[in-house]
Structures are given as structure tokens and as C-alpha cells.
Structure 1
């Protein structure tokens, strides 16, 4: 229950972060915003790790061994995180927060799809869930003129790295220090995004004064708290429960966009959002079923 609660809180914080990213994109370059927010997240987590080690009286050699163990997995996960977050941030300049939240939520459907490529047989519920989500994605992303915006396309591209990142966290978090693993991915993302800002942003590390509130929320709350809760929660939550709970990020993102930015997705958009939620639920928990014998008994007239 604690793990599921941690994941639900993380999803709510991520959902509201779409608003911060949308506002921040108006003032700060893509890689600058990501680099600064993940550097802030690392600064939040560092003292927590130090205090935790002292309280538990972890020997120095054990601390060093735990740190060495997370370096390579952290760099791998952090690189995927860098790709996904920067594609997402680049999309926020011309995509409403609500739309972005629902399209990003499609990564939860890709988790069982990727698992299928790893040798796991896809169930009928997975296939139906993917189809429903794709129809919903079409309604949200593709205009009446059968065109798709740049932002929507970038968000669709984030689904694969997000899905792989979740699977890798599930794989490594059970046997590594979760706080150090989170720190390693934060630092990796901050460093790679900082280099990206110098190479690709038109005005790197400028405009941060105007975006101070979105940066603080995105760094201290969305990264420092929410991404840490993800790593901690995935260590103890069942994979299906974790995927289902994190899918609520889309709902919180749409609520944040409507309440704080006064966005309206329109009837077509909300229908697409409903289909995406249905697809995510079906792909994760399956279709309701009843034994044929029970159904037959229910339709037999009483003697």
C-alpha cells in the first residue's frame, strides 16, 4: 500500500508538472530547462542520501560499493530519461498540457508491447488496449485535415524511451540502492542536458528568472520528489499495479491544464482521452470475464 501510494503521489506531481513545463517553455530553452530541473532534483536528493546513511550507520566501504553499483545502470536509465524528457519539453512549446499528458500516457501501453518482443505472449486484452489507445491518440493528435502537429509527433516518440526506462527501473531497483539509482539518473540527465543546452539551445541558460517558478516546481517537486518516489515505489509494487497507477498522470495533467491554464480539449479530444484511458486500463488489468457455464446458468429459465 505504501508503494502504491508513493506511485500515485508521483503521478499527481508529474501531471501538474506538464503545466510547469508548458509555462517554462515560453521563457527557457528545451535543454536548459531540463538540465536545470534535474540538477535541482539531484541537489534535493543528495542530503537525503547522506542523512539516510548516517541514520542507518552504513559503513564507508558499503556506501562506496553501493555507489559504484549504480553508476552504469544509472547512466543507462539517465540517458533514456534525457531523450524522453527533452523530446517532451521540446513539444510543450506548441502542445497544450492536457493533450501532452494523454499522449505521454501512451507509454504505459508500450510496456506490454515491448515485453511481447522479449518473448512474452500478448494477450487479447493487450491487443484491444493498444488498438483503443491508438484510436484515442488519433482523435487527440490528428486534425480534421489529417495532419499531426510537431509537438504531438515528438510526444509520440517519447513513448519508447519512457517504457524502456520503466522496465529498467523495475529490473535494477530490486537489487540496488534506490536512492543512489535515482541520483545517478538525475545527474546523468542534468549533465547530458547541460551539454545539449550549450550545443542546441539558441540562448543557453538565459530566461531562467522569468521561469523560476516552473523551474523550481519541475526540479524540486517533479524530479526531486516524484522521480524518487517512482524508483522507491517500483521496488515494492507489483509491475501491473505500478503501470496502472502511473497511467493516472494523464488525468492529473489534463486537470492541471484545465484548472491552471484554462485549456479545453474539445469533444473530440476528450473522447480520445477516454479511449486512451480505457486502452491503458484494458492493457494492464485485462477484460472482465465470466465462465461460460455461469453465463449459461444465468440465461436458463428456472425450473
Structure 2
């Protein structure tokens, strides 16, 4: 019994660690996205980072397939089955569609001059939409998770929004819709990650996402090589680190995790972005922002606590 409990604890810690690493990488990506939008359009930026995601994962997937064929022929045969291929294609398409939608809406927010801090706050509202949409789909979250979500939203407010208050700009609507789409992305991942390999699912989401983004780029934008070249450093970071590594870690880390608990860990990207600015760029970390960081950390810890159950009294 103890061995089983230890194994479960190790698994949960490992998955949480992967999601935390995802948040760390994402937290450094807001500035790159904002800078990249100065010379290219949203669909050009999104299609480029998606394509880089494909290129960064394809060698790994091919290597893993060869290893399976040599050492795990039964698993290799399962992945050749029509059922596996159907789930991989459907899951990859849906994940790619929602990832494209979320990333593009976020980029449109930056085009319309949404502030980076405010974008971080609104984007992270997916921590609210994940359990709400889950309720519509018949999934219930325990009360402690709802409390954790409320504490996290309060923390995000103190962390991202200045004392003078919150003003709504046109770009904020795009980022708000982005939060809803990212919530759908998290829920779709949870559905398919138990049916197919997480790394292969990530590759397929980038493949379909890049096709969709490239089509939209060809219809609505006229990118130039000079503009693309100027945005290349931002595209490389977003494509390799944020997409190829972080989004893949998200998929692998979500396996076996509650969607709401996973979204709370992922939302720590807002904390990371503020702390990175303080540690690396010399930005001032105010008492207000520090309090927000503490609330966010408390919310994540609360979400990981086991459910308390009343022990029934023994019969007399």
C-alpha cells in the first residue's frame, strides 16, 4: 500500500514539475511575442512559430518510432492501428485549431497595443474557464479547486494590474477570447493525451496549426522577408522554446492531471514574467506585485492538497 502511495505521489510531483517548467518558459515569452509583432502580422508570426514546432519535434518522433519498432513491437503495432491514427489525427487537428486560435488572438491583442501585464492577467483567466466549461461538459471539480481558482484570480489582479485600475481597450477583447480558446485547448488535451503519445500529439497539433495559420497568412497578410528577418529572434524563441518544448511539456504533464489543477500551475507564467523582469532586467517588484505572487503560489499549493474526507464513526 505504501509503495502504491509513494508511486502516486512521485507521479503527481513529476507531472506538476513538467507543468511548472512549462510556465517558466511561457513566462519569458510575452515580451518576445510583443517585440515580434512590430514587423510581422499575427498570422505570419503564428505560422512561423508553429512550423518551427514541427521541425523541432519531428526528429524526436522519428527516433522514438524506431526505438519502439526495435524494443517494443507491441506498442509499435498499436500505433499503426487505425484507432490510434484516428485519435492522433482528430486530437492533433483539434489541439492545433485551438492552439492556432489562442496564439493568433493573443497576437491580435498585441497588435492593438494591449499591455504585456494586462495581457498576462486576461490570458491566465483560462483558470476560470477550464472548470466552467468542464461543468457544461458534466465534469465536476471539488470545492477546494474552486477556492484555489478564486485565490489565483485575486493574485493575478494584484500581480498584473496597476493600482490605478483596469481600463478596457480593443486589444483586451481579443486576449479575453484567447483565454476561452486556451481553456478549450487544455480540455481537448486532457481528452486525447490518454489515447495517444503526448509528443506525437504535440507534433500533430503544430502540423495542423501551421497549415491553418499559413492559409490565413496567405489570405489576409502580405509578409516581407525583411519584416520576417527582423522578427526572427522572437520567432525562434516562440517556435522552439514556447512551442516545441513548452507546449509539448504541457501535453505530457497534463496526462493523469485534473484539468483545473493543471491550469492553475500553468498560470504561474504570469508570476514568472514579473519575477524574470525583476531578476534579469532590474525592474522594480512592488509590494502589490509581491502580494500577488504569494497569492498565486498559495492557490497552486491549495490545488495540490488531497481531498479531505470525514472518517465515518465505527458502529457501536
The reply to whether TM is greater than 0.5 is yes
SS of the residue 1:162 aligns to: helix
Alpha carbons of structure 1 residues 13 and 35: separation in structure 2 relative to 1, 3 Å: same
Q: Is the CA contact 1:170–1:239 (under 8 Å) kept in the aligned structure 2?
A: yes
In structure 2, C-alpha distance between the alignment counterparts of 1:236 and 1:125, rounded to whole Å: 19
Partner of 2:102: 84
In structure 1, C-alpha distance between the alignment counterparts of 2:147 and 2:19, rounded to whole Å: 25
In structure 2, C-alpha distance between the alignment counterparts of 1:195 and 1:281, rounded to whole Å: 39
In structure 2, C-alpha distance between the alignment counterparts of 1:173 and 1:288, rounded to whole Å: 24
Alpha carbons of structure 1 residues 34 and 287: separation in structure 2 relative to 1, 3 Å: same
Partner of 1:52: 64
CA-CA distance at 1:14 after TM superposition: 1.1
Q: Is the CA contact 1:130–1:279 (under 8 Å) kept in the aligned structure 2?
A: no
Partner of 1:119: 138
Q: Is the CA contact 1:104–1:155 (under 8 Å) kept in the aligned structure 2?
A: yes
CA-CA distance at 1:30 after TM superposition: 0.7
CA-CA distance at 1:282 after TM superposition: 8.9
In structure 1, C-alpha distance between the alignment counterparts of 2:252 and 2:309, rounded to whole Å: 36
Structure 1: gaps of 5 or more residues = 292-303
Q: Is the CA contact 2:141–2:260 (under 8 Å) kept in the aligned structure 1?
A: no
Q: Which moved more, 1:187-196 or 1:65-74?
A: 65-74
Partner of 1:102: 121
In structure 2, C-alpha distance between the alignment counterparts of 1:262 and 1:146, rounded to whole Å: 25
Alpha carbons of structure 1 residues 259 and 61: separation in structure 2 relative to 1, 3 Å: closer
SS of the residue 1:207 aligns to: helix
Q: Is the CA contact 2:101–2:181 (under 8 Å) kept in the aligned structure 1?
A: yes
Q: After superposition, what is the alpha-carbon deviation per residue over 1:235-278, rounded to whole angstroms, capped at 9, x for unaligned?
A: 2445454233212111112234555667679777x389559837
Q: Is the CA contact 1:66–1:176 (under 8 Å) kept in the aligned structure 2?
A: yes
In structure 2, C-alpha distance between the alignment counterparts of 1:236 and 1:288, rounded to whole Å: 16
Q: After superposition, what is the alpha-carbon deviation per residue over 1:97-144, rounded to whole angstroms, capped at 9, x for unaligned?
A: 333223211111211111222334566656656666666777756995
Structure 2: gaps of 5 or more residues = 1-12, 70-75, 311-316
RMSD: 3.5
SS of the residue 2:29 aligns to: helix
When normalised by structure 2's length, the TM-score is 0.76
User: What is the number of residues matched between the two proteins?
Assistant: 290
- Select which of 62, 65, 72 maps to 2:90: 72
